[in-house]
Amino acid sequence: MSLFNRRSLLLMPLAACLLAAACGFQPVYAPGGTGEALHGKVAVTEPNSVESYLLVQNLEQRLGRDASAQKLYDLDVKVATATQSAAITTTNETNRYTIEGRAEFSLRSAETGRILVSGNVHDFVGYSAAGSTVSTLADERDATERLMIILSDQIVNRLYAAPGLTQ
């Protein structure tokens, strides 16, 4: 006797859809969803460092650049990074580093100035320092870019999940 039942396998996607509908699931990019409410309507603070420039660039790619006539929200973002040694050889040479990043954000209404969503996100990336000086600098730059993509994605996900931002 086999425990495999094709009917239960076919009913699993239907059950998943019903559960998603029952929990109040609403697609972000659906008409009236959070993605539509924020796209092109968020002005991000001007960058003041390489890291903040990369973060703002990624945020604008995900949220769309604000058109001044349609601006409804201001997004204030502060980013900080710290580089630490991650792997040290027996000869006391560092051949791997991690960059820890933290970004604090707050989304404000452009009309009232009231904070609608705020929080902070953090993550880390690593890079190798075992090659030449040029390759180590390129690896560090690439790691910083990856970290800013990760942080901007986390910020956008938090904004999309925030209640009350639909149109």
Over range 90-96, report the average pLDDT: 88
Confidence band (pLDDT; 50, 70, 90) for 3? low
In residues, how long is the chain? 167
Give the per-residue pLDDT at 25.
Answer: 64
Whether residue 43 is contained in a domain is answered as yes
Confidence band (pLDDT; 50, 70, 90) for 59? very high
pLDDT at 47 over 90: yes
CA dihedral (37, 39, 41, 44) in degrees, to 10, reads 130
- How far, rounded to the nearest angstrom, does the alpha carbon of residue 161 sit from its chain's CA centroid? 12
What residues make up the domain containing 41?
Answer: 28-161
How many independent structural domains does the chain possess? 1
Whether residue 143 is contained in a domain is answered as yes
Residues 97 and 125 sit within 8 Å (Cβ to Cβ): no
CA dihedral (119, 36, 29, 51) in degrees, to 10, reads -40
- Higher model confidence: residue 6 or residue 62? 62
Whether residue 167 is contained in a domain is answered as no
Confidence (pTM): 0.81
pLDDT at 2 over 60: no
The pLDDT tens digits of the residues spanning 81-90 come to: 999 998 888 8
Whether residue 16 is contained in a domain is answered as no
- Higher model confidence: residue 145 or residue 14? 145
Whether residue 19 is contained in a domain is answered as no
Confidence band (pLDDT; 50, 70, 90) for 167? low
The pLDDT tens digits of the residues spanning 9-42 come to: 666 776 666 665 556 666 776 777 777 778 888 9
Give the per-residue pLDDT at 22.
Answer: 54
Q: What per-residue string of b and e applies to 21-38 under the rule 16 or more CB within 10 Å gives b?
A: eeeeeeebeeeebbbebb
Whether residue 166 is contained in a domain is answered as no
Q: Where are the alpha helices (DSSP H) in 5-66?
A: 6-22, 34-38, 50-63
Residues 144 and 19 sit within 8 Å (Cβ to Cβ): no
pLDDT at 1 over 60: no
The pLDDT tens digits of the residues spanning 104-129 come to: 999 999 889 999 999 999 999 999 98
pLDDT above 70 as % of the chain: 81
Residues 112 and 95 sit within 8 Å (Cβ to Cβ): no
Whether residue 17 is contained in a domain is answered as no
Whether residue 75 is contained in a domain is answered as yes
Q: What is the domain-level CATH number for residue 103?
A: 3.30.160.150
